[in-house]
Amino acid sequence: MALQPWRKGIVTQIIQETPQTKRFFIQLPELESFDFIPGQFISLDLPIHEKPHKRLRSYSIASAPDGGNTIELVIVKLEGGAGTSYLFSSVKEGDEITLRGPMGVFTLPGDLQQDVYFICTGTGIAPFRSMLHYINNNNLPHRNIYLIFGTRTKTDLLYYEEMRKLSEELPQFHYLPTLSREQWEGCCGYVHTVYQQLVEQNKNGDILPNSLFYLCGWKDMVDEAKHHILDMGFDKKAVHLELYG
């Protein structure tokens, strides 16, 4: 895909999703339809530095393509982060923002004939939310899809009720939110134990299930997950990743 030009965006709505996370809805008035592939991202040019390359911040698109010209980003405020500090303190509904996109190849394969594991932490859920709604909206044939979303406490869970509802609507979609700092009715601990147990359950004797793994979130989690998945015997081609931070 050719590099897209810089465009004007209008922030039409801001929602406080969790104590440290906001959802930003951005309309591109120049376009009737902002076309992208679920899993792609955009870059924002923010007035936070004199040097152009130090003004850029990239975020996965959290909404699914719907033929319209408004997209959603979900952004966590980083302590000391110039980009998120500006977005959280200075950007208001109705403001203009400069963006470029879509970009990226962290996208679904042409068919979904394998079990798919979406493994994420924090706002790493964004591209998977886009993919899941796209699959559901277009009735794409698929096998098991596991969303393993790790965070510290229940108040940090992004799109919790939405994902629970989607798990009731979308066949063979399994929503597995996992908390590391709070006991609750769902999964506790870290994401690695969850996907390792699922792989063991899905094995046919010693034969590994035909699977794809999509990893998105903080670098430490992604690196550790990739190590475990390869150590279980999967080929590196089965692992796709997107790093945050």
Q: Do 74 and 17 touch, CB atoms closer than 8 A?
A: yes
CA distance 154 to 168: 20
* Mean pLDDT of the region 75-80: 93
Q: How far apart are the first and last CA of the chain?
A: 25
Beta bridge partners of 222: none
233: Cβ contacts below 8 Å, ≥ 6 apart:
208
Domains in the chain and their CATH numbers? 7-103 (2.40.30.10), 115-244 (3.40.50.80)
Q: Does the pLDDT value for residue 182 go beyond 90?
A: no
CA distance 218 to 57: 16
Beta pairing, strands 187-188 & 173-179:
parallel
* Residue for token pair 């080929």: 235
Q: Does the pLDDT value for residue 87 go beyond 60?
A: yes
pLDDT score at 14: 98
Q: Do 208 and 232 touch, CB atoms closer than 8 A?
A: yes
* Mean pLDDT of the region 221-244: 94
* Residue 123: band (very low, low, confident or very high) from pLDDT cuts 50, 70, 90: very high
pTM beyond 0.75, yes or no: yes
Q: Where are the alpha helices (DSSP H) in the chain?
A: 82-89, 126-137, 160-169, 191-202, 219-231
Taking only the tens place, the pLDDT of each residue in 25-72 is 999 999 999 999 999 999 999 999 999 889 999 999 999 999 999 999
Taking only the tens place, the pLDDT of each residue in 207-232 is 999 999 999 998 999 999 999 999 99
Torsions phi, psi of 135, nearest 5?
A: -60, -45
Q: In this structure, what DSSP letter does residue 104 have?
A: -
List C-alpha distances in Å: 5 to 42, 100, 101, 102, 235: 11, 6, 8, 10, 37
